[in-house]
Chains A and B, each alone.
Chain A
Amino acid sequence: MPVDDIKPTRSGLLLVKRRMALAERIHRLLKMKLDGMMLELVKLTEQTARERRMLEEQYSRAREMVAVAAMMEGATGVLLAALSVETSPAYTAGHRNVFGVRLPELEPVMVKKTLDQRGYGILGTSSVIDDAADAYEDLLEAIIASAELEGGVKRLLDDIERTRRRVNALEFRIIPDLEETRRFIEDRRDEMERQEWTRLRRIKKIKAKRAGRL
């Protein structure tokens, strides 16, 4: 029932009071959720920044390793080794629940491979290819870990924004409106009470006057 439709009656007042209690409880809970999410965001952001730095380091290392591989084996040798890959790396996507927010959880599949799984022959390649493959596998893992964390931060930020809007709506709109309605009903009811009292006194006076005349 909208606030405007509430009648200035006792039941109306009870309804408003009940709604206010609920709104305040929700407000308190959402504020707690917001604080919790903020803490989680700070933690996650630090972890993401760390992971991002690691990703950049892995990228530089991978580039250096592939440069050395291209120097020693030629781009042709590197491409031939790359051509040998039989199973493409992948990931599985899941989620974990943090304060009701579904944060992504990515699990690398066949990213880190053994020499056997890489598909190239040991005798046809040299250790620079292993180093380059290792560096790129590490880079791919770092990308997946980074994507998981950055995706989590993004979702958490979206939810913080949404929750903050709800908290603000409760704090600055719904609760003040309900407060105003409560005050209005109380004032109305006081007014009505005063009117009733005045009417009763007046009736009493009239009755007393009539009794004196008789």
Chain B
Amino acid sequence: MPPPGAISPSYIYACTRFRVRRTTLLPREDYLRIMGMSIPEIVTYLGRRDYYGQEIVDLAHDFAGAQLIEEAVNRNLAQSFRHAMAIAPGDLRTLTGEYLNRWDIANVMAILRGTVHDVPRRQVRDLLIPAGEIDGALLTRLLDFTTCEEILEALQDWRLYPILAEYYRICGEQGAFARIENELYRQYYAGLLDLGASGCSGCQELNAYLRFEIDITNMRNLLRLHCAEEACDVRVIDQTMIPGGRIPIDLFRRLYGIETEGEFVSAFLATDIAPVLAQAVRELRQDPNISSFDAAELIWQRWHQRRRPVHEIERGVTRIRLHQLESLSRRHPFSVLPVLAYLERKKYEIANLRAIARGKAFGLPSERIWQYIVL
């Protein structure tokens, strides 16, 4: 065991491997090249690449076009994440597992919903991405069950099982799955934050990153709740806001009730979101004069008109978050940050390829598709 303060060799080895893996991700030039291609050309291009070639070949007889690309990149994502779990040692493995729980939540919820609503098993199977801790074999076994009880029993070893067990009594009730799903995600972030508080190398920075992500998610969801025709009560805000961010839930509760511009803008400017949002809008509109105040005004306009966030700006904020994570991972090269940076970058590489394929399939112009690309 290495002495306290010293970094273990396995850590250095794993972090170096993750850094090397990050260099294999698609660079900006490749995206520009792909943007100029048609869907069959993209399939051919990905088929020739080391990382997607096998998936394309395996799935080519079942799918075609944009669907083939999406299925292939999803499968590649699952494989890459499973590989990441395999090479991460100790704390890094725990963190990776915790991070990948997001996919487990999506898979488990899809299976539960499919079982209760009697959706054909094959259709549910096509929706699963076994990128989390729950492997493909267990997912297949879960698909064979016909009741919620059996599924829950088989999931007893899953780290989020206590939440499922607690909410099981309302399984099948109207709106129950949404509540269970929200609670699972809240617990997911709580687990990640707990792990970040364990004092590992780079954990402090990781927590700061996560807390900012929580703030952004909460703000976005508050805008979504505010868009609804009927006002929601405080209980709904409590159920849908993720605790642990830098902005206290109380502020979100207060923001929800504000209907005057001055009050809203001053409350919003007090958060850390305003400068990042301003930067995202500056980059999107290519206007260097946009200030935090302008960004707050923009949010107020959407808020006042009960409209949802602009998706392109959401993507812009994601770009900035990733950029920050990248800088942090360079500053702490042998910590959890390079792992997280790789996992996040890989996730967005998949999202980018999917966005290009889907955008082209729907005939959207290249400039529009480019706004959704996170580089």
Contact = CB atoms under 8 A, between A and B. Distances in A.
Contact of A121 (B127, B178, B236, B372): B178
A79 B336 CA distance: 33
A122 B225 contact: yes
A116 B74 CA distance: 29
Given A63-B362, A67-B359, A122 B67 contact: no
Nearest to A63: B362
Given A63-B362, A127-B314, A75 B182 contact: no
B355 A123 contact: no
A48 to B, nearest CB: 27
Nearest to B359: A71
Interface string A74-117: 11100110011011000000000000000000000000001111
Interface size on B, as a range, is 35 or more
B74 to A, nearest CB: 7
Given A71-B354, A80-B106, A80-B127, A127 B177 contact: no
Interface in B322-375: 351, 354-355, 358-359, 362, 364, 369, 372
Interface of B: 66-67, 70, 74, 105-106, 109-110, 113-114, 117, 119, 124, 126-127, 129, 174-175, 177-182, 185-186, 217, 220-221, 223-225, 227-230, 232, 236, 240, 242, 308-309, 311, 314-315, 351, 354-355, 358-359, 362, 364, 369, 372
Contacts of B126: 76
Interface of A: 63-64, 67-68, 70-72, 74-76, 79-80, 83-84, 86-87, 114-124, 126-128, 130-131
Contacts of A75: 66-67, 70, 358
A205 to B, nearest CB: 102
A75 B180 CA distance: 23
A119 B175 contact: yes
Given A74-B74, A123-B217, A86 B228 contact: no
B296 to A, nearest CB: 19
